[in-house]
Amino acid sequence: MPIQISPQIILRPLNLLDASAILSLVNLNRERLAEYLYWVEDVRCVDSAKQYIFDRVNNGLNEAHWFKIYFNNEICGVFAVKSICPQTHVAELGYWLGDSAKGNGVISQIVKYLPKLLANTSANAIEFRCLEQNHASIKVALRAGANLVGSIPDFMVANGIKQNLNIYRVTL
């Protein structure tokens, strides 16, 4: 069932039939996406794109929902409520966007819609986890009103630099 975020932005459930489109999108944006996302190097063919989708859609995490993002009727990225922690009631978000939709506030508009999307869940807060040099994602978190609440030191090497994973949270 599609979720209309705005006249230009629609979310649709991510599924295995999206593998070719996801692979094409990753290939078009590989260099930039690989700067901050560990999985990009593993998505090299339709089968590996199917595995990427399968691993996410079937992750078994509490209240997880994975979507493909459409901007002006073209698939441009992926957005997820990766899970909602049953103890803390925090929804962890995940997303990535192709260059064709960057600079249009796509993710920020989706985040503004989240209270409606999460209305019938246990979530009372959302959490963004961003590598410390991923300034675009940090800006999305800050625009949403999130505050830095923690950091996981030396989380991964990205851009040749060992980076912390910063955790930003905002109450719904």
**pLDDT tens-digit map of 68-100:** 999 999 999 999 999 999 999 999 999 999 999
Phi, psi (degrees; rounded to nearest 5) at 170: -140, 140
| 91-133 pLDDT tens trace | 999 999 999 999 999 999 999 999 999 999 999 999 999 999 9
Q: Are residues 159 and 35 in contact, defined by beta-carbon separation less than 8 angstroms?
A: yes
Per-chain mean pLDDT for the chain: 96
Paired tokens of 107: 């993710």
Q: Residue 158: is its pLDDT beyond 90?
A: no
Which CATH number goes with the domain that contains 48?
Answer: 3.40.630.30
Closest to 67 in 3D by CA, of 9, 23, 144: 9
| pLDDT exceeds 90 at position 159 | no
| Count of structural domains within the chain | 1
Q: What is the pTM of this model?
A: 0.94
Query: 156 has which bridge partners?
Result: 163
Domain encompassing residue 137: 3-171
